[in-house]
């Protein structure tokens, strides 16, 4: 089956318009696929493994904006700190501290999102609402001049049950709007993937992370 990457991108972009930023999730896909999307004008790509993202960054045009969308281990932050644009899945203070340290070494400011656990299933990382609010109030944050917390990210349960997706996204939507009023830097709500981005957009997502609907199914 052949996949028309440029056409898929065009269709999704015209569907979302100016409502949301599209992160093209290129994990496991070859650099030639990214080049096709790049040649179609796309610049924002998401990866979930630091090593893979770092290799692709090395080999591909330098005006690509790389987003780390996966779970991050603190000991690997140093490899992406020179170039990563946005870290979507910050799940604890210790990780934020390490990102700040490595950003500072590179004389950069790295944008971060806090991952909220919204899925009713138990397999996903992330903080609950109380943990997020506690982190945002933590006075240590004042010293972290090299990270900027821009908003929240969440992953819904992998399900076709629309009512469940709505419940999960609406919990994140509410938390986002509450915090947005308190946190001056908040402007990003990252939620929605190939299977559920339409529902996510109905719940005020302004950044969607779409892989297989652009690049085709992944063979792990």
Ligand X SMILES: *Cc1c(COP(=O)(O)O)cnc(C)c1O
Contact window for ligand X (CB under 6 A) among 128-136, 139-147, 159-167, 210-218: 210-218
Half-sphere exposure of 122 (CA within 13 A, CB side): 0
Q: Which residues in the 25-44 window bind ligand X by CB under 6 A?
A: 25, 27
**Alpha carbons 20 and 202: distance in angstroms, whole number:** 11
Alpha helix stretches (DSSP H) within 17-82 = 31-39, 50-59, 77-80
Q: In what helix (H) or strand (E) does residue 190 lie, and over which residues does it extend?
A: strand 188-190
Q: Which residues in the 45-64 window bind ligand X by CB under 6 A?
A: 48
Among 9, 113, 193, 201, binds ligand X (CB under 6 A): 193
Least Å from the CB of residue 200 to ligand X? 11
**Alpha carbons 168 and 40: distance in angstroms, whole number:** 33
* DSSP secondary structure code for residue 145 in this structure: T
Asked if 86 touches ligand X (CB under 6 A), the answer is no
Contact window for ligand X (CB under 6 A) among 37-45, 131-139, 144-152, 208-216: 208-216
Asked if 72 touches ligand X (CB under 6 A), the answer is no
Asked if 156 touches ligand X (CB under 6 A), the answer is no
Nearest 5°: the CA angle 67, 68, 69 is 105
Among 42, 124, 203, 209, binds ligand X (CB under 6 A): 209
Asked if 154 touches ligand X (CB under 6 A), the answer is no
Residues 151 and 113 sit within 8 Å (Cβ to Cβ): yes
Least Å from the CB of residue 47 to ligand X? 9
Least Å from the CB of residue 198 to ligand X? 12
In terms of Cβ atoms closer than 10 Å to its own Cβ (0-12, 13-18, 19+), residue 220 is: exposed
Closest to ligand X by CB, 158 or 178:
158
Site for ligand X, rule CB under 6 A: 25, 27, 48, 69-70, 155, 193-195, 209-213
């Amino acid at each position: 089956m052949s996949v028309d990457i440029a056409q898929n991108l065009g269709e999704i972009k015209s569907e979302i318009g100016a409502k949301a930023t599209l992160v093209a999730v290129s994990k496991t896909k070859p650099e030639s696929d990214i080049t096709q999307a790049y040649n179609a004008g796309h610049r924002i790509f998401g990866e979930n493994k630091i090593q893979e993202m770092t290799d692709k960054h090395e080999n591909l045009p330098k005006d690509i904006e790389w987003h780390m969308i996966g779970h991050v281990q603190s000991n690997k932050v140093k490899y992406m700190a020179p170039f990563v644009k946005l870290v979507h899945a910050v799940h604890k203070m210790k990780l934020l501290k390490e990102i700040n340290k490595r950003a500072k070494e590179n004389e950069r400011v790295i944008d971060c999102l806090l991952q909220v656990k919204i899925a009713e299933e138990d397999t996903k990382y992330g903080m609950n609402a109380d943990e997020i609010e506690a982190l945002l109030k933590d006075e240590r944050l004042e010293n972290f001049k090299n990270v900027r917390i821009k908003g929240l990210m969440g992953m819904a349960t992998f399900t076709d049950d629309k009512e469940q997706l709505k419940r999960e996204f609406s919990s994140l939507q509410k938390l986002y709007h509450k915090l947005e009023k308190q946190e001056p830097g908040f402007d990003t709500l990252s939620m929605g993937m190939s299977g559920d981005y339409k529902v996510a957009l109905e719940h005020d997502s302004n950044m969607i992370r779409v892989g297989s609907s652009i690049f085709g199914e992944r063979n792990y």
